[in-house]
Chain A
Amino acid sequence: MSGVTIGVLALQGAFAEHMKMLRQLGVTAREVRKPEELDGLDGLIIPGGESTSMALIAERWGLVQPLKAWVGAGKPTWGTCAGMILLSDRATGQKQGGQSLIGGLDVTVNRNYFGRQIDSFEADLTVPALGAPPVHAVFIRAPAITGTGAGVEVLADLTDNAGQTVAVAVQSGPILATAFHPELTDDLRWHALFVRMVTESDAD
């Protein structure tokens, strides 16, 4: 399909699922574990997993600064779940002592907003940017975005019984973030959306 190459951060978590879906879309996909493996990529996915594990492993192999530089340079980046936490400028509910964040996405994210595993859930989301039918979304010990800065477009949100609305999918320029896991479903629309973002950025 497109001539772009998309990397998937493969430090820990569900990176293989993203690789598979990118390949289904005909995109060249590559696992990224070391700083030099970012070279030549047109886009990057930071997958779901444990954000504390990923941050600690990234620190050990000198990946935090290159990832910050990557996002800072306006390269297309998509974070799912833990990846969304790492891309956010502000995170609450972190482990004692906090954790490294890559940042770049002007939002406040609440880690494990939806609770422990027993509260993990599936839901259908209406996402105007993707059209019909609704997206089936899998939320695993999921975070939520509780505050957004200027220029952040909310693609999907959820409202609980108390009337509290939180964002669960946002886009801000070249950054896409989802609190749920499109890579755990068969729906390729999110990956296709990101590939379009990468292709358009590549053409600029």
Chain B
Amino acid sequence: MSKELNGHKNGQVEKGTFAVKAGLAQMLKGGVIMDVVTPEQARIAEEAGACAVMALERVPADIRRDGGVSRMSDPEMIKGIIEAVTIPVMAKARIGHFVEAQILEALGVDYIDESEVLTPADEEHHINKHKFGVPFVCGCRNLGEALRRIGEGAAMIRTKGEAGTGNVVEAVRHARAVYGDIRRLQTMDEDELFAFAKEIRAPYALVKETASLGRLPVVNFAAGGVATPADAALMMQLGVDGVFVGSGIFKSGDPAKRAYAIVQAVTHYNDPKILAEISANLGEAMVGINIDTLPEAEKLAHRGW
């Protein structure tokens, strides 16, 4: 239901600004964004209290199992999910595949994830996200990668973690890298900031802004390997603003119950008594993969740069 507001009586209207792009991410904070592959799963996620859903064709655990080239989802499926729920709907485009992004924008998705979970379409260039009216979220392993993505127009950042493993270790590594570097930044003088920006290959203006804010200039979620309420609360205590859960929900024994528990864990992440209560009797967690037994070539976090 789009309203043509240009020229309305009370001032001029401006759409697609960075403030509204980053603003939606601010509204998602303290929430859980869940991977879903059907409208039915989207409804389960909404009923569990998800603040948004990520529409994709296969969850990362299945992408890992099946192999092959992984692409943007069928627009018909994405439309079905958009119609099924009232919460924001995100969808994934391949790294550098700006035409997939154009298609997703035309479908009316609320956020595009330029994602390493899909097979990259360009090994040098990420999408120029400034050219779009729809906002983008991008993955990162460290502060330099996060600020490069923001420089390209990303309005939200997430850790890459190692998607589809049910193993939180990489998400922890990436969150600690980002927040550790932000803490280091705050002790630096201007001369050191110039050198640091060069070292992490990030735009100086964004490095300076991050230092003065004491945080990333945009919202940062955890992603990649979160499988339990305790995992979600761990990431929140490390400093992220919210959590993406991919395979961890619909690859578990009781998705509705686990989804609901992870939502509560993100709200009450600092309350161990409540975490104990909501972690009980959730059924089987997803089986999970140990990252150190995973061949380098199968690690998704190396995609993107």
Residues of A that sit less than 8 Å from B by CB: 10-17, 33, 48-50, 52-53, 56-57, 60-61, 81-82, 93-97, 111-126, 134, 138-141, 156-162, 164-165, 181, 184
List chain A residues, Cβ under 8 A from B13: 121-123
A interface footprint on B82-109 (CB within 8 Å = 1, 0 otherwise): 0011111000000000000000010011
Known: A57-B264, A119-B2. A12 touches B10 (CB 8 A): no
Q: How far is the CB of A7 from chain B (nearest CB, A)?
A: 15
A interface footprint on B1-37 (CB within 8 Å = 1, 0 otherwise): 1111111111111111101100110111111000000
A-B contact count (CB 8 A): 173
List chain A residues, Cβ under 8 A from B17: 121-122
* In the bound complex, CA of A112 to CA of B13 (Å): 17
Asked if B27 and A140 sit within 8 Å, CB to CB, the answer is yes
Q: How far is the CB of B185 from chain A (nearest CB, A)?
A: 20
Other A-B contacts than A33-B268, A125-B10, 18 sampled, CB-CB below 8 A, are A14-B29, A49-B28, A50-B31, A56-B260, A56-B263, A57-B263, A60-B260, A95-B86, A97-B47, A119-B3, A120-B20, A121-B20, A123-B8, A123-B13, A124-B11, A126-B10, A141-B27, A161-B5
List chain B residues, Cβ under 8 A from A161: 4-8
List chain A residues, Cβ under 8 A from B26: 14, 17, 48, 184
List chain B residues, Cβ under 8 A from A111: 86
Asked if A122 and B3 sit within 8 Å, CB to CB, the answer is no
Residues of B that sit less than 8 Å from A by CB: 1-17, 19-20, 23-24, 26-31, 43, 46-52, 84-88, 105, 108-111, 133-135, 260, 263-264, 266-268, 271
Asked if B30 and A11 sit within 8 Å, CB to CB, the answer is yes
CB nearest neighbor in B for A11: B267
- A sample of 6 inter-chain contacts (CB < 8 A) reads A16-B29, A33-B268, A56-B49, A56-B263, A114-B5, A162-B4
CB nearest neighbor in A for B3: A160
List chain B residues, Cβ under 8 A from A159: 8-10
Asked if B86 and A115 sit within 8 Å, CB to CB, the answer is no
Asked if A120 and B24 sit within 8 Å, CB to CB, the answer is yes
Asked if A120 and B88 sit within 8 Å, CB to CB, the answer is no
A50 contacts which of B16, B28, B84 (Cβ < 8 Å)?
B28
Asked if B3 and A123 sit within 8 Å, CB to CB, the answer is no
List chain A residues, Cβ under 8 A from B264: 57, 60-61
* In the bound complex, CA of A124 to CA of B12 (Å): 7
List chain B residues, Cβ under 8 A from A134: 11
List chain A residues, Cβ under 8 A from B271: 33
B10 contacts which of A49, A61, A156, A162 (Cβ < 8 Å)?
A156
List chain B residues, Cβ under 8 A from A117: 20, 24, 88, 109-111, 134-135
* In the bound complex, CA of A181 to CA of B24 (Å): 11
Known: A33-B267, A94-B86, A111-B86. A141 touches B5 (CB 8 A): no
CB nearest neighbor in B for A110: B1
Asked if B29 and A122 sit within 8 Å, CB to CB, the answer is no
Asked if B267 and A112 sit within 8 Å, CB to CB, the answer is no
List chain B residues, Cβ under 8 A from A95: 46, 85-87
Asked if A118 and B133 sit within 8 Å, CB to CB, the answer is yes
Asked if A112 and B6 sit within 8 Å, CB to CB, the answer is no
Asked if B29 and A120 sit within 8 Å, CB to CB, the answer is no
Asked if A53 and B86 sit within 8 Å, CB to CB, the answer is no
B43 contacts which of A14, A96, A115 (Cβ < 8 Å)?
A96
* In the bound complex, CA of A82 to CA of B30 (Å): 14
* In the bound complex, CA of A121 to CA of B111 (Å): 15
List chain B residues, Cβ under 8 A from A52: 46, 49, 86-87
Asked if B135 and A12 sit within 8 Å, CB to CB, the answer is no
CB nearest neighbor in A for B49: A56
CB nearest neighbor in B for A156: B10
